[in-house]
Structures are given as structure tokens and as C-alpha cells.
């Protein structure tokens, strides 16, 4: 529990280390491992996750923004850090100052990067992002070999790696994954024909690491799975992961209401008989989606209890178990285990109509984290 609030997130760093080792165990010896710690480590805390992942054998870290990379450098992380997308040209000075490797998707950025590196009498490494079918960012697969060739002799630049990203890797045996793999392989083959070394080749995200060994190449990039959250039902059948995030609170108020009394805004729930209502001090500003109102459950004393009434910004209410004695200060679990019962992140995500990725990120926005 934190000192300032009766609601918090617990992060099990040993679980993260265990997951990194398990995922590395799926790859061939010598395959590099990137731990993706963007979005503040998917809500788990980027710095703590980075340290745990590196200690467990990760070779480098992946982030989404320059600010995320700079925060890690400022905290003393010295290992390789890569941006998984191309940043604005205005960031190049700080990229070079802090030894951060960007992705390249446009010639304009590549030229600007090379020019500034040349002015410093240095060489800037970059990873070429190839769009093989997801159509988000990247040089089109048919254009990528020539794009790479055109930069080979550009002073100040070094092609350190070539990568792509899958759109449907969370489905086993998916045809679109195979099609993207074939396109990517053609790009690599054509680059080599043109005597362009693609460097570190990588394509596999968490689900591809678990489901598509042919996509491992020289490095895998694992995000959601290092946190013990399954990308899909298909991956759950391949590798058991250890969930690292629990979401907990303490009962801030307990009151008894009569039959017919309503709870929360709009009185969308009324008691069918006299009952005890327990208030918890967290709400949709903390990642408990309002759409979960009257649909989710929590654990009190190892028993599942129904949430009742609309979820508020900072609080929500649950109905106490029949016959149970609940007191102010009793611990309640939203995600995680209590006694023999467990509520997984995926369950709450299903109720919210979203994915476990978003739920974890949301819980990390305002709730304080406790590490163990």
C-alpha cells in the first residue's frame, strides 16, 4: 500500500524477469532480445522494467518517443535504446547527444540525420522500417531495397538494422503473417543482391515470438508478454507467463442501505434487499473504465463481489458478500489474486470491451506503483 492513497498497483519484477527468460528460451542461441518498455513500460514503470529486463538477459530496449528514451538515459540506462518509429527532424541533436537509435521511414529524415552526424564527424546508426502490409509506417516493401541502396554511400549514416511489424501475428497459422514474411524476405534478398547489408534483421513482436519461429531472424521484440499478459488465446496455449501487475485498494467507506435504495450517479442499480455497500477510492481516472459499471467484479476476502452503480471518476462501489463482515481498511483486489480466487487483466479488458494492453496502460496513469 502507498502512504498517500488507499489504491495502488503492485508490480512483481521477478515475474518480469521470469517472462523475459521464458521468451528468450523460445529463440535460438545468439538471437538478440529487445524489451519494449514504451508507454511507461505498458503502465508498469519503464525504468524498473528496463532494469529487470536487462538483468534477465535483454540486449536492448525499445521505446516509442524521444522523451521515453531520454528518461531512461537520465536515469542511468547505458545500453542500446531504439525508437520504434521515426521522430521529427527537430530531435536529431538530442538523438545524437544521447546515443539513441532511430527508425527511418523517410528520405528527408535520413538525410537530415546524416548531415548532422557528419557535422559532428561521427556516424549515426539507424534501423530501416519496411512496410510489408500493416500500412502504418515504413518504406513500402517494393521500394525498400532501392531506398536502402540510395543511403549506403551517404556520409554520416550506418544501416544497423532492418525491420517490419506484423498486423495479425496473434493468430496462429495466419495467412497474412506468411504473406508479410514472404514480402520481408524478398526485401532482404534484394538488398543483399544489391550488396546492402540489412544488419540486425527483426520482425517478431510478442505473439510472433511465441507462434512464428521463422520470424525470429536476428532479434525479437517483446512487449506485452514480458509483463505476463497474453497477446491472444493462441499464445496462451504455447507459453505460460507470470502476470506482473496487480491492482488493489482498501475499502474507504462501508455503509448499509435498504431495499430499493440506489447507488451512484443515475441510480442505475437498486438494492433488492438490505445490503452493505463498500466504496473503493479509485475510478475511471485511474483506469477503471466507466463502461464496466454494473458489469465487473472484485475480490473481497477471496470472494468475488459485484460492482454496483456507475463507476465515478475517483471512486466506485461494490456490494459486500452476503453474511461477510467488511470493514473500512480491508484490502480489495481488482486485478490479481486473493486467497484461492483470481481476476486476470484479460477478464476486466473483456468487460471493458478492449484489450489487456490498454487496461495495463490505464492503471499506470495515476495509481502509485509498489514494486516487489
Residues involved in catalysis? 38, 265
Spatial distance between the Cα atoms of 8 and 324, rounded to a whole number of angstroms = 24
7-11 and 245-250 as β-strands: parallel, antiparallel, unpaired? antiparallel
Contact 229, 349 (CB under 8 A): no
Helices and strands counted in the chain (H then E): 12, 22
188 contact partners, CB below 8 Å, separation of at least 6? 162, 198, 201
The number of residues making up the chain comes to 372
Beta carbons of 187 and 141 less than 8 angstroms apart: yes
**Cβ pair 203, 187 in contact under 8 A:** no
Q: Would you say 9 and 365 are in contact if contact means Cβ atoms under 8 Å apart?
A: no
CB 320 within 8 A of CB 300: yes
Q: Are 46 and 40 in contact (CB under 8 A)?
A: yes
Q: For residues 161 and 200, what is the distance between their CA atoms, to the nearest angstrom?
A: 4
Tell me whether residue 273 is exposed, middle or buried, using C-beta atoms within 10 angstroms of its C-beta: 0 to 12, 13 to 18, 19 or more: exposed
d(CA 21, CA 105): 32
Dump strand ranges (E) for 169-272: 200-204, 219-222, 245-250, 253-257, 262-263, 269-270
Amino acid at each position: 500500500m502507498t502512504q498517500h492513497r488507499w489504491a495502488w498497483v503492485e508490480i512483481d519484477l521477478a515475474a518480469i524477469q521470469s517472462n523475459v527468460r521464458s521468451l528468450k528460451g523460445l529463440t535460438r542461441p545468439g538471437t538478440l532480445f529487445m524489451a519494449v518498455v514504451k508507454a511507461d513500460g505498458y503502465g508498469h514503470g519503464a525504468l524498473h522494467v528496463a532494469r529487470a529486463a536487462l538483468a534477465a538477459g535483454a540486449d536492448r530496449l525499445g521505446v516509442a518517443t524521444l522523451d521515453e528514451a531520454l528518461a531512461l538515459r537520465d536515469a542511468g540506462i547505458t545500453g542500446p535504446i531504439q525508437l520504434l518509429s521515426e521522430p521529427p527532424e527537430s530531435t536529431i541533436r538530442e538523438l545524437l547527444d544521447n546515443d539513441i537509435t532511430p527508425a527511418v521511414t523517410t528520405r528527408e529524415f535520413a538525410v537530415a540525420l546524416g548531415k548532422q552526424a557528419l557535422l559532428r564527424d561521427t556516424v549515426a546508426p539507424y534501423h530501416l522500417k519496411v512496410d510489408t502490409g500493416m500500412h502504418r509506417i515504413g518504406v513500402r516493401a517494393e521500394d525498400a531495397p532501392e531506398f536502402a541502396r540510395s543511403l549506403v554511400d551517404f556520409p554520416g549514416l550506418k544501416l544497423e538494422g532492418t525491420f517490419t511489424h506484423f498486423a495479425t501475428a496473434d493468430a496462429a497459422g495466419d495467412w497474412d503473417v506468411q504473406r508479410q514474411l514472404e514480402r520481408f524476405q524478398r526485401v532482404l534478398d534484394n538488398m543483399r543482391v544489391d550488396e546492402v547489408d540489412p544488419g540486425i534483421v527483426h520482425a517478431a513482436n510478442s505473439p510472433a515470438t511465441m507462434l512464428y519461429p521463422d520470424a525470429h531472424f536476428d532479434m525479437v521484440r517483446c512487449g506485452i508478454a514480458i509483463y505476463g499478459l497474453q497477446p491472444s488465446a493462441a499464445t496462451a496455449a504455447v507459453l505460460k507467463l507470470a502476470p506482473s501487475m496487480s491492482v488493489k485498494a482498501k475499502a474507504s467507506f462501508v455503509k448499509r442501505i435498504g431495499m430499493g435504495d440506489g447507488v451512484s450517479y443515475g441510480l442505475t442499480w437498486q438494492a433488492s434487499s438490505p445490503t452493505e455497500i463498500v466504496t473503493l477510492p479509485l475510478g475511471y481516472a485511474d483506469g477503471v473504465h466507466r463502461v464496466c459499471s454494473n458489469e465487473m467484479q472484485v475480490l473481497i476476502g477471496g470472494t468475488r463481489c459485484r460492482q454496483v452503480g456507475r463507476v465515478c471518476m475517483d471512486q466506485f462501489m461494490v456490494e459486500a458478500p452476503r453474511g461477510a463482515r467488511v470493514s473500512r481498511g480491508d484490502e480489495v483486489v481488482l486485478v490479481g489474486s486473493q486467497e484461492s480466487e483470481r481476476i486476470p487483466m484479460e477478464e476486466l479488458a473483456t468487460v471493458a470491451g478492449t484489450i489487456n494492453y490498454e487496461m495495463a496502460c490505464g492503471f499506470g496513469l495515476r495509481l502509485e506503483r509498489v514494486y516487489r
